[in-house]
Each structure stands twice: as structure tokens, then as C-alpha cells.
Structure 1
Amino acid sequence: MPTDGSEYAENAAKNGFEIAERMDATVHALAVGDTNLTHLSSVGGPPPKTVDDVAEIAAEWADDLVDDAEAAGLEAEAVVRSGIPAEEIADYAEAIDADMIVMGTAGRSGFERMVVGSVTNKVVRTAPVPVVTVRPDGTVDAA
């Protein structure tokens, strides 16, 4: 269950917890420190984040998701990786022989999705296992 600490990830977690409970599955709370952010800065803004910075932020997201899963009575473990999120998510799912990935979507469509891109969209296209996507309104799709 990838997380980026967003409300979209929280929506997905609620659905993912229900699935994990039904399947008696362990929740792998995967957070990826996005190394793309280590190259960004804005004029007059803060300097780019370091790999350690993004990993530290990701660790907080993973720990929060584990806390929520355990509060729901589920077995869970925090996993932190650094890299390109979609690639790391698909690679991790393959490495642990996951049964599925449950993740949120930001609700972008059309031109915005094409220009901005979507981690979820990339995971759906590259993951070695089924991907359950949860829309911002809480509805579920399976890919």
C-alpha cells in the first residue's frame, strides 16, 4: 500500500485495510522519497531537498500508515525507498511477490493527467500484480 501522506493515500488506506482484513494479509506501508525533488528549487525559495530529506519525510508517511493499520488490528510493516515513486512501487511489489497494490488517485483527467503525469497511472501500467485504485470520492477501480 503506497503512501505519500496525502488525503488520496488515506482514502486508499481505508479500502486497503478492508481488503487486508478479508484476506488476512500484511499491510506493507511503502513510502518513496521522490528523488525528483532533490533536483528542484525555486527562485528565492528553499534549496533542493537532499535524498536524506525525502527519505525522512517518506519514513514519517510509512510510520503513520503502519500506526493506522495496527490501530485497525492489522499486521503492518513500514518500508521506505528512495527513487522514482512509480518504479519503486512496482519493483517492491515484485520483490515481495505482493498479491496486489492498493493506492489512491488524485482525480486528474484528460490534459492535466497527460501533462502532469500520474504515479498511479504509471504503476497501473507497469506493476507485476493487480492494482486497486481508489478515487478521491472513495470509489474503487481494479486494473
Structure 2
Amino acid sequence: MNKILVPFDFSEQAQHALDLSTNLSSKLDNVEITVLHVIEIPSTAGMNTMGGGEMVPDYENQIFFIELMDRRKAQFKEMESKYSGNNYSFRTKLVLGNAFKSISSAILEEDPDLVVMGSKGSSGMEEVLIGSNTEKVVRTAHCPVVTVKTATDPATIKKIVFASDFREDQDELANQLIALQKLFDADLYLVIINTPGSFETTRESAVRIKRFVNKYAIVGAVAEIYNSYSEEAGIVEFAGDIDADMIAMATHGRTGLAHLFTGSIAEDVVNHAKRPVWTFKTK
């Protein structure tokens, strides 16, 4: 792992994401951390219309953005000084624009090995209609994304739940999962969530997990079958029951109508889980 991108909005959750990134990077060699902050520009930040369609400058918003830019630049300068002198490199990036689009562009430009993001979660109509920027990044990023909501010390991540149906061969996914296990020196709990809508016997589920373990020579793994009313709830519940330190999942990254009708289990888990969630994009 050489490059980590940390979208940063100066929230408590963003600081948790940055702390996880720096603590993890201090145990590795030659890691570059890029902290990205996006200042979103509302439609009223430019000109306002008066009677007759005349355009006049919105000086109040202009002054606000000048002050905000200066404040963020000063905060980034302090941050660069605070994190200098470590065995990883640290840089900041300040851009204007839409948060999700700017983060997506940065992922394409920077080509990081990992994105680490803070997440507040969402609920009610916000979750149904728009979700969060974090969920959108999880859905679209071509690289792994880890989301955090609370302070997380990478040294304490020793139990990782990997939830899947284990029906398809996923060589790249298995390689990333093995690398994740080695990164944290953790035990893997490979779990299939058995729901009323897709019920199968324990024997059938166990055979698929065993095949996955043998095919990819995974060590330090425990096979589990967990019953719940939904896959999303089951993953979160199982992780809580065994007091897991992290959840790992694959996401198909569906967008548009496909995402509207099928949704994403990974995004739902990211939204509702209290513990860190590491997602891998699959084809």
C-alpha cells in the first residue's frame, strides 16, 4: 500500500479517518497520505437577480467564501506542520466544487490504493432519497474504501467479518481479502447470512465457504452461518455478536436504475454499522 486518500470535512468522523490512516501508515513504508477538502459552492455564491433580471454581485457570499478559504488554508498549513517528520509523506489538497464529484475526480487523478472516510450515517428520507457522499463513494470507487464512525486503532483490529454468499470465483477479491488480513494480522470470520427469502441448509452454506477457503488457501479463518430477516441486518448483528473489529464486504457498484431497484447491501451496512467497514469493488 503506497497511497491513501482521506476526504476531510473537519468533522469528528473525518478526524477518526485521518487518525486511522496515519496510525496505519506509520507501520508501513513509503506511504503517501493525501487529505482532500472540498468547499462546496451553493448556487447563490455568484450573482443574484434583481427586478428586471439585472445581475448584481452577492457580496455577502463572496466575503464568506474568501474568509472560509483563508481559514481552511490556515488549518491545512497547521495540519501539514503537525503531521510532518513521520515515516510517511503528508500532503493536503483544497478544491472548490461538489463534494461527491470532487472526491470521485480525486480518486481517478490520485489513483490511491485506499480511501479512508468518516461516516455519520443517514436515516429516514435522507437515506431513501439521496444517501450520503460516503455511500456514493463506496458504490463508485475503483479502489477499496474503509469507512469509520468512531476512533479506531489499527492495532486493535483482530477480528474481521467477511460477509458473502461465496457463490462466485473472485480471484482479485480473495487476494485483497488475504492482503487485508495480513495488514492487520487478524482472524477472518467468513459468514453467510441465511434469510427467509433465500433459505438454504447449513450444510450447503458450509460447503461453499470451505471451497472458498481451500481454493484461496486462506488461513486463520472461521466459517459461520447466521440467520436473520435480512442480509444487511444479519451482517451488522453478527459482527456485534462476536464483537468484531471490522466488517469487510464486496460491492458491485451498481448505479442508475440498477442501483435504484436493487440497492446495495454494502452501502446499507456502511450506513448502519458502528464499526469500520472495508469495501472492495467487484466486477
Kindly state the Cα deviation for residue 17 of structure 1 after the two structures are TM-superposed. 1.3
Match of 1:22, SS state, is coil
Which of 15, 19, 24 is the equivalent residue of 1:19? 24
Question: Kindly tell me: are residues 111 and 22 of structure 1, through their superposed partners in 2, closer, same or farther at Cα, counting changes over 3 Å?
Answer: farther
Kindly state the Cα deviation for residue 128 of structure 1 after the two structures are TM-superposed. 2.2
Give the 4+ runs in structure 1 shifted more than 6 A.
none
> Does the 8 Å CA contact 1:134/1:141 hold for their aligned counterparts?
yes
Counterpart check, 1:124 vs 2:138: yes
Question: Kindly tell me: are residues 110 and 72 of structure 1, through their superposed partners in 2, closer, same or farther at Cα, counting changes over 3 Å?
Answer: farther
> Aligned residues: percent identity?
26
1:2 corresponds in structure 2 to: 7
Kindly state the Cα deviation for residue 19 of structure 1 after the two structures are TM-superposed. 2.5
Question: Kindly tell me: are residues 65 and 99 of structure 1, through their superposed partners in 2, closer, same or farther at Cα, counting changes over 3 Å?
Answer: farther
For 1:59-70, list aligned pairs within 5 A.
59-70=73-84
Kindly state the Cα deviation for residue 140 of structure 1 after the two structures are TM-superposed. 1.2
Question: Kindly tell me: are residues 95 and 73 of structure 1, through their superposed partners in 2, closer, same or farther at Cα, counting changes over 3 Å?
Answer: same
Kindly state the Cα deviation for residue 84 of structure 1 after the two structures are TM-superposed. 0.7
RMSD: 3.0
**Distance (Å, rounded) in 2 between the aligned partners of 1:12 and 1:77:** 15
1:74 corresponds in structure 2 to: 88
**Structure 2 unmatched runs, 5+:** 1-5, 46-58, 153-274
> Does the 8 Å CA contact 2:121/2:132 hold for their aligned counterparts?
no
**Distance (Å, rounded) in 1 between the aligned partners of 2:61 and 2:84:** 34
Structure with bigger strand share is: 2
Kindly state the Cα deviation for residue 104 of structure 1 after the two structures are TM-superposed. 0.2
Match of 2:94, SS state, is strand
> Does the 8 Å CA contact 1:66/1:78 hold for their aligned counterparts?
yes
Kindly state the Cα deviation for residue 35 of structure 1 after the two structures are TM-superposed. 1.7
How high is the TM-score relative to the length of structure 1?
A: 0.76
Counterpart check, 1:142 vs 2:278: yes
Stretch deviating more after TM superposition (67-76 or 132-141): 67-76
1:35 corresponds in structure 2 to: 41
Match of 1:35, SS state, is coil
Q: Which has the larger radius of gyration?
A: 2
**Distance (Å, rounded) in 1 between the aligned partners of 2:144 and 2:22:** 16
**Distance (Å, rounded) in 2 between the aligned partners of 1:64 and 1:110:** 38
**Distance (Å, rounded) in 2 between the aligned partners of 1:3 and 1:61:** 12
**Structure 1 unmatched runs, 5+:** 40-45
**Distance (Å, rounded) in 1 between the aligned partners of 2:103 and 2:149:** 18
